[in-house]
Amino acid sequence: MSDMNTTLPKWLEGRRYCTIKDLMRLFGVSRATIDRWCRENESFPSKHKFGNPFNENCSTRFSVSEVKAYISKVEQNQVD
pLDDT score recorded for residue 80: 57
Query: Taking a C-beta distance cutoff of 8 angstroms, is the pair 60, 49 a contact?
Result: yes
Ranges of the chain whose pLDDT falls below 50: 1-3
Task: Specify the pLDDT at position 40.
Answer: 96
Q: Tell me the three state secondary structure of residue 67.
A: helix
pLDDT of residue 1: 38
Answer whether 0.85 is exceeded by the pTM: no
